[in-house]
Amino acid sequence: MSEATNAHQEQALKGLGALLALQGSLVAGAALASTLAAALALVPFFVVARMATAIYATPPDLDAVRSLAFAAAGALVVRYALVAAANMLAHVAAFRVLHDLRLRLAKKLGAVPLSFFSRRGAGELKKTLLDDVNQIEGFVAHYFPDAIAAFVVPLSTAIALLWVDWRMALASLVMAPIAIVAMAIAMRDVGKAHQHWNEIQSRMNTSLLEYLRGIHVIKTFGLTAQRFGDLSRSIEDGLAWMVGFMRTNGRGYGAFGTLIGSSLVVLVPVGGWLHMRGTLSLESLVLFLVLGPQLLMSLMRLMFAWGNVDRIKASNTRIQAILAVPDLETSTGDARPAHDGITFREVGFRYEDGGPEVLHDVSFEVPAGKVTALVGPSGAGKTTLVRLVPRLWEAHSGRVELGGVDVRALPLDTLLSRVSMVFQEVFLFHGTVRENLRLARPDATDEQIDAACRAARAYDFIQVLPRKYDTLLGERGARLSGGEKQRLSIARALLKDAPVLLLDEATAFADPENEARIQEALSELCAGRTVLVVAHRLSTIATADHIVVLDGGRVNDQGTHDELLARSALYRRLWKSHTEALDWSLGEPGPSLVAEEVA
């Protein structure tokens, strides 16, 4: 095993210890109660051995038998009380750990850079946030207390049996090394197998989410889950893994269980021979015959407990990997922008460290109180530039300034309080209209919400909803049309009332009627603000105060619409393609291929 793997596993074990330490007293209490309960479960076996002596005595000691029976019954009652106490303490500890862990993960995901999510699929994150966290609950509530009991009880029982008769104690344990070797051989590659299983699960989760999100497209093409690419393959891979795992490791489990349960094959002849020679009492013989097999069965519990710990380590490793991601660096100073203008100074950007640069030495200014538009072919870097302002992405070189201050030097709350964003992909949460609007300003009054919705041209359609502002929108705002969702997002931006507005072509997917209303709403929204807008439809920004033409992640040219038409060949091509697309009718030859670049 490599040093890196050893270090990885050691870190995972430390992480498990840290999780248990969060509720140390409850976990310790659960482990102690579980251990005492397991120990009391052995009392009836000692009682049976004593009963054998009392019954076969001359004359039989029935009073002793009766007392022993009451002792066994009392031990069982106390055992069940301890089991209940262990379950209660362990589950309370587990759910407290889960509560703390989920809050930490939610806080962490809100604090990491957006680049973190570009490197991880939704299925992988879902598995960690739900499946792996639930595994931790099972570990704290069940596996850890059971593992402690499975270790302590066999050890103490073995010591007690050695004290009674070392020969029979060794006979009780003689099959254990053979069973453990058989299991170790069968399970030698179980770590790699579980890693492969986790990869299959992540693929399956990602494919399932994609399948559900694209169900309308799948139905349109008459596809089924069995014919949907990676989802079908990942399900089949999961089944093949399970069949292969059971075929490979089932024999090991079977051999282990058979050998563990075969101790009587050794105990009966050895014990009978020693008893016949008079060196082993009847009580000791009965004790070993009833308790010896239980000693090895406890080893099976220990083996399963260790297997669970090994699996939990993998889950905790993925959880700790998320918690270890550095937060987005933010200033704690009191810097304040001197104005609302934005400046890009030799900005470079790549989506991943070591990956290709998508922005190269981009420099231009967005004057305060003016409208600046970004245009260029698809992939030129327009949306990426806009997202650098609120630090959804981080520039790898150069500076993005707001009011003369590097955005990284501004406290994040200060930066975000001065910026509103309206993107073409609107996200609405599964809640009411009012709840979605108040994301922008939690303390907004009903009058302020009304005013924002009227200005955004959203008031009229809200009034015809079943419960108006208290109507549940469904997942991702499923009850609304695209144009209605866009107008709600503009209402949110109006409600926030920030001096800087970032627009990623809010009308790109709107129909003519909605586009007209959205344009009216945007006019209200832009008034008096610093606006940086990504333009796909060039006619919407022809009157912009300043236009920056991007190409291949670089500034190709900048100026007003008329200036760019006069001197920029790229802008002229973009404008020509745009106007040709507007005049195109169904059935006619399509416009030039440059139109595809504009979209």
Same domain, 482 and 363: no
Same domain, 448 and 465: yes
b/e for 176-207, b at 16 or more Cβ within 10 A?
beebeebbeebbeebbeebeebbebbbbbbbb
Same domain, 549 and 410: yes
| pLDDT of the residue at 5 | 47
Does a structural domain hold residue 50? Answer: no
Same domain, 548 and 576: yes
**Which of 497, 517, 549 is the endpoint of a domain?**
497
Q: For the domain that residue 472 is a member of, what is the CATH number?
A: 3.40.50.300
Same domain, 357 and 345: yes
Helix H or strand E segment including 563: helix 561-567
Whole-Å CA distances, 13 to 18, 184, 317: 9, 21, 9
The pTM score is 0.63
- Residue 439 CA to residue 416 CA, distance in Å, equals 13
| pLDDT of the residue at 545 | 85
Axis crossing angle, helix 3-21 with helix 62-111, rounded to the nearest 10: 110
The number of domains in the chain is 2
Does a structural domain hold residue 164? Answer: no
473 lies in which domain range? 420-497
CB neighbour list of residue 139: distance below 8 Å, 6 or more residues apart: 16, 308, 309, 312
Does a structural domain hold residue 491? Answer: yes
Same domain, 339 and 403: yes
The secondary structure of residue 584, as a DSSP letter, is: -
Return the half-sphere exposure (C-beta side, CA atoms, 13 A cut-off) of residue 127.
22
| pLDDT of the residue at 344 | 92
Same domain, 408 and 557: yes
- Residue 201 CA to residue 348 CA, distance in Å, equals 37
| pLDDT of the residue at 259 | 67
Same domain, 432 and 470: yes
Does a structural domain hold residue 472? Answer: yes
Does a structural domain hold residue 585? Answer: yes
Q: What residues in the chain have per-residue pLDDT under 70?
A: 1-17, 56-58, 114-115, 117-123, 182-198, 202, 205-232, 241, 245-262, 296-311, 331-333, 354, 474-479, 505-522, 524-525, 539, 580-599
**Which SS3 state, helix, strand or coil, does residue 381 take?**
coil
Same domain, 402 and 424: no
- Residue 599 CA to residue 377 CA, distance in Å, equals 8
**Exposed, middle or buried, 382 (CB in 10 Å: 0-12/13-18/19+)?**
buried
Whole-Å CA distances, 333 to 60, 405, 481: 88, 12, 43
SS3 string, 218-259, reads: HHHCCCCHHHCHHHHHHHHHHHHHHHHHHHHHHHHHHHHHHH
SS3 string, 535-555, reads: CCCHHHHCCCCEEEEEECCEE
Same domain, 598 and 471: no
